[in-house]
Structure 1
Amino acid sequence: MTTHLTGSRDEWLAARIDLLKAEKEFTRLGDKLAQRRQQLPWVRIDKEFRFETEEGDASLADLFRGRSQLLVYHFMFGPDYKAGCPSCSAIADGFNGIIVHLANHDVAFTAVSRAPLAKLLEYRTRMGWSFPWASAAGSEFNFDFHVSFTEEQQRDEGIDYNYRREPVRGWRERSGQEGSGDSAEAKFAAMTGTDVPTYQREQPGMSAFVQEDGAIYHTYSSYGRGMDAIWSMYPWLDRAPKGRNESSGPWWRRHDEYGKG
């Protein structure tokens, strides 16, 4: 017998209609937040960033592919990773199919990582994806947008991530607060073929850019839990009877790893 609240259809309908009022308010608030994002001041980018792409050496302007807007997903795939981050991979499963729609609405899209291009493309083939993926190896792009960090920052200085100063990250594995064999970060690090500190030197995020009158501007970036909004499995799980149901921690794997023990 379930311990969850039960009721008649009429009781359910009354509760559902009451919830609908809150959902509509949430939608209206979401619309207002979207407008505030679009009203942020634009910051001109004068620095020259270079990327390695399937078409060869590219500038940031080249990543626009003739569009006026560019969305970048900062995919956690560091130079020492043997495979991409499982969480970023689950997010990529959701955005892989929408690229064509964005491109036909004047919005280019690309993922950017610091791993060599050959490694990125090999992993993309394994996952069955087709979105553009650029390597920022040798570029300061990931560092400037606060999704990659040096070992020195990690060990001695602390990092700036998600618009706040975070303490040194390398301590986590040594102190046992994170990085034990059962922790989420230790499991994900192992899934990328790295140790926890190496895994932590990359972080997820997304950034938006616009090109106007020959100039490129940075317009928006989001990190951390901000990725929930573009992680397509979560809106579905939030509507499932048991929600995200993550009391035991992260449960997901790469889509080709389910059922493998």
Structure 2
Amino acid sequence: MTIHIGAEPGDIAETVLMPGDPMRAQWAARTFLDSPRQINAVRGMLGYTGTWRGHPVTIHGSGMGMPSLSIYANELLRDFGVRTLMRIGSCGGMQPHVGLRDVILAMTASSISTPSSSLMRELRFAPCADWGLLRAAAQAAETRGITPHIGGIYSSDTFYDERPDLNDQMTRHGTLAVEMETAELYTLASRYGARALSVLTVSDHLLTGDAVSSADRETGFSAMVEIALAAAFPD
């Protein structure tokens, strides 16, 4: 048990999927895991552990933004022995060829700053995904008839962004999408010698202003969770 996670030893699996929304963690656990049981509800951040094809899996919310994710990822990695962390979340498309409901596998994650920036000081650390997870996720997606976009994304500190000039530069430099958590997730995985990957669904688009409906989000998120689970436990 830690300050923010009320689980007991053995309650959390070595593989954890992390959506931002705790209610989405509940939905994913009940939809994809066998015999899920709630292992955390501290501060309303829900976590569940069950099995997928016989493999123990925990699905735990991270909250929005890198500071929130950093709290839970640190405790999961440091105190509960988690070895694989996979973010499953939404993102905003930043390229013309990236469409709504598309799946993005984040190879790298740029950021202005993260909670780890003070540790790195003058160094601009380049956080990246685990290659084995990235390759397995690409194969899992293609097996399901999905061609994922693979490349760099941008982890922003703000949701209501007022820097169109920065967004323009991100687009100019090929950034696929923007979200708010991955750069810190990848940094922490590197620090603890663990594996990490963000599997994302495009829910809205910065260039067009389009956004998917609630029903479409559910369908897209289903594919994303399936890809993440298959990547964590390839046949």
Taking structure 2 as the reference length, the TM-score comes to: 0.31
| Structure in which a larger fraction of residues adopt helix | 1
Q: Rg larger in 1 or in 2?
A: 1
Taking structure 1 as the reference length, the TM-score comes to: 0.28
| Structure in which a larger fraction of residues adopt strand | 2
